[in-house]
Every structure is written in structure tokens, then in C-alpha cells.
Amino acid sequence: MSQGMIFDVKRFAIHDGDGIRTTLFFKGCPLSCVWCHNPEGISMKPEVAYYRHKCKCCGACAKACPEGAHSFTEGGHIFDRDKCLGRGECEAVCPNSAIKYYGRQVTADEILPELLSDRAFYENSGGGVTLSGGECLMQADFAAEILSRLKEEGIHTAVDTSGYVPREAFDKVLPYTDVFLYDVKAIDPAVHKRCTGRDNSLILNNLKYISSRGAAIEIRIPFVPGYNDSEITAIAEFLDTVGGITKIKVLPYHNLAASKYEALGMKNTLPERVPTDEELKSAISAIRSAAPLSHLR
């Protein structure tokens, strides 16, 4: 049985597909989108995050850490990330929830009971389980194993993906995936590269591929003024040529993830500006006029 690296299980997830869902977050992502709101999902390795604003300098973590990564001076709490082996003993002892440990190696057997525990809610609301991340298809074998087990249980499955994975990854999960939540961020390769650090031809080709294989697809367009707002019409025109799309959602960018970057010791790349209601409305109507789908939100 394969193992996977995950960083969270969110119950009562209601923005990751239809109905009440449980979302399993895979750790590791090939893209580095400037607006990423789950930076803890980028690295494949477990990480310790330290939220300074919650810390009351009690010293409990220093006692718990065998590597001495946490120390206290007059200036306060110093977390030396270089010494940290990412084992996370400090998380459990912190009385103020200032330390979060992201990353857990699990097998399908271990995680499945948690994914199934809200089954009654899925049935009563038309929900199910969503695999997200990070990029869940970077661990395609593990994802496929979980998805197939869920399908055996009769659970509705969704795969939330950036599309930046080898086509074979899709082949592995296609038989067990009821709907793909597929991100399209830009059509112009230069814009895409500036936003995500990568070229987009693989993403667009994979989208056409799964469409040709008959997949149901919900498109998600993160809308980030100053980055991809000029791309909206091009995206809509492109989508109009792709079959199997059931919904298109414009996801307005929010900048609420800033504290996570600091806590993880990462450079904060988040754009400052969030879209105004007017910008959002005009983006939605641009999509609507170019891609006449009925379920736009």
C-alpha cells in the first residue's frame, strides 16, 4: 500500500465542490503562484509553522525540542528553522496554539475512516470527498488508491487540481473521479509564468485531454487584479472550446494568508490588492458573454 504526505483534513468543506464535503489536502505543489493561500502545501516535506502573534513566550516548546530549535532571549522567542527536523514535538505542548505542524505521512487505510465519517452528511446534501492541496496529482498513485476506495464505498469524489502534472497522473485517477475542479489562471504563457513560475501548455493540454476522455469539469479562475485580470476574456474564449465543463467559478483573490507565510519562514509573495465588487462583477460578465454556461457564480 502506498503512502501519502498530507497536511490537513477539512470536514464541512463547502467551497470545494457540491454539498457538504470533506477535503483532504495533499502536501507538495509544482507551482508557486504568487497569490497562494495554502503556502504550507507547497513543500513536500513536513514543516513547523510558528505564529509569533499567538506566542506568549512560555518556553514549553524549548523544553520539548531535542534539537534546540526553539530558544528564548530577552528579545523573545527565536525559532531556528535550520535546526528544526520537522518532527513537530513542539506543537502538542504549545498552550497558545502558536505552533502548527504541517505534514503527516499516512496510508489510505489510516485516512479512509476520517474521510468516510461524514458520509451521512454527504448523502443528505449531495456532497462527498475532495482531494486538494498542494497538488494532489503529484501523488497520483496515492490519490488513485484513495479515490478508488471511496468509489467502492459509493462516495462522490472530486479532484481539485492545477493541471500541472504528467498526463499519466490523470489516467490514474480518471476512472474514480466524479468531477475535476480545474484551475485555469491564464492563457498567455508569459502571464502564466509570471503568476505561477511555470508555463501553461501542459495545463491547457491536460484540460483538453480529460475533456476528451469525458470528464465532468468545474473550472475555477482565481481572479487577481494586477496579475491575471487581463486574461479573463482569453480564458473564457478558450473554455468555450472545451467540452464537459459543468460550471465556471471566479474565485476572488483574498489576502488573508499573510500570517502563514511569516509563520513558515517563507517570503510573502501575496499581492496587496483584492478585487473590488465592480471588478469581480465585470470579470463574471466577461466570462458569461464569452462562455455561455448557465452555472456561473
Partner 1 sequence: MRILPFETAREFMDGQYEKVKEKSNEEKRESLYRAMRDIYDAEEHHILGKGKAIRYFFENTDVFVNPCDIFADLCDVECTPVRIRDDEHRARLCRSEDTKMLIKAGAMKAMADFGHTAPDWERVLRLGIPGIIAEARELLRAERETLGSTPEKCAFYSAVIEAYEGIITYIKRLRDAVSLTVSPSSDFTAENLSAIAERAPETLAEAMQLYFIFYRAQQFADGAVLRSLGSIDQLLYPFYLKDRERGVSEEEIRELMRYFLYKWNSMRTLANIPFDIGSEANELTYIIVSEYGKLSLPDPKIHVKCSDKTPKKLILMILELVKGGNNSFVFVNERVVISALENIGISTEDANNYTLIGCYEPSAVGKELPCTLNGRVSLPMATEFVLKRGKTYPDFESFFLEVMKEVSFFIDTAIDEVIRIERKYPDIVMTPILSATYTDAMAKGVDVYSGGAKYNNSSVCAFGIATFIDGLIAVKRAVYEDKLITLPALWDILAANWAGGEELRAKIRNSYPKYGSGDPEADALTSRVVHMLSDMVNNKDNGRGGVFRLGLFSIDWIFAFGKKLAASPDGRYKGEPVSKNLSASIGMDKRGVTGIIRSVTEQSHSLIPDGAVLDISLHPSSVKGDEGSEIMYGLLKTYLDGDGFAIQMNILSPETLRAAQKEPEKYRNLQVRLCGWNVYFTDLDEAAQNNLIDSMSEE
Residues that bind partner 1 (CB under 8 A): 10-12, 14, 18-20, 58, 60, 63, 91-97, 117-118, 120-121, 124-127, 297
- Closer to partner 1 by CB, 19 or 244: give it: 19
The Cα 206–Cα 40 span in angstroms is 25
Q: Least separation, in Å, of the C-beta of 36 and partner 1?
A: 21
- Closer to partner 1 by CB, 95 or 189: give it: 95
- Residue identified by cell 480564458 is 235
Q: Least separation, in Å, of the C-beta of 118 and partner 1?
A: 5
Q: Least separation, in Å, of the C-beta of 13 and partner 1?
A: 9
| Selection from 176, 187, 194, 185 nearest residue 129 by Cα | 176
- Closer to partner 1 by CB, 96 or 230: give it: 96
Q: Least separation, in Å, of the C-beta of 95 and partner 1?
A: 3
Q: Least separation, in Å, of the C-beta of 20 and partner 1?
A: 5
Q: At what angle do helices 108-116 and 140-152 cross, to 10 degrees?
A: 50
- Closer to partner 1 by CB, 94 or 248: give it: 94
- Closer to partner 1 by CB, 201 or 276: give it: 276
* SS3 readout for 177-239: CCEEEEECCCCCHHHHHHHHCCCCHHHHHHHHHHHHCCCCEEEEEEECCCCCHHHHHHHHHHH
91-96's contacts with Cβ under 8 Å and 24+ in sequence apart are 91/48, 92/64, 93/60, 93/61, 93/63, 93/64, 94/60, 94/61, 95/56, 95/58, 95/60, 96/54, 96/55, 96/56, 96/58
CB-based contact 130:176 (threshold 8 Å)? no
Residue 283, Cβ neighbours under 10 Å: how many?
A: 23
- Closer to partner 1 by CB, 53 or 297: give it: 297
Q: Least separation, in Å, of the C-beta of 162 and partner 1?
A: 24
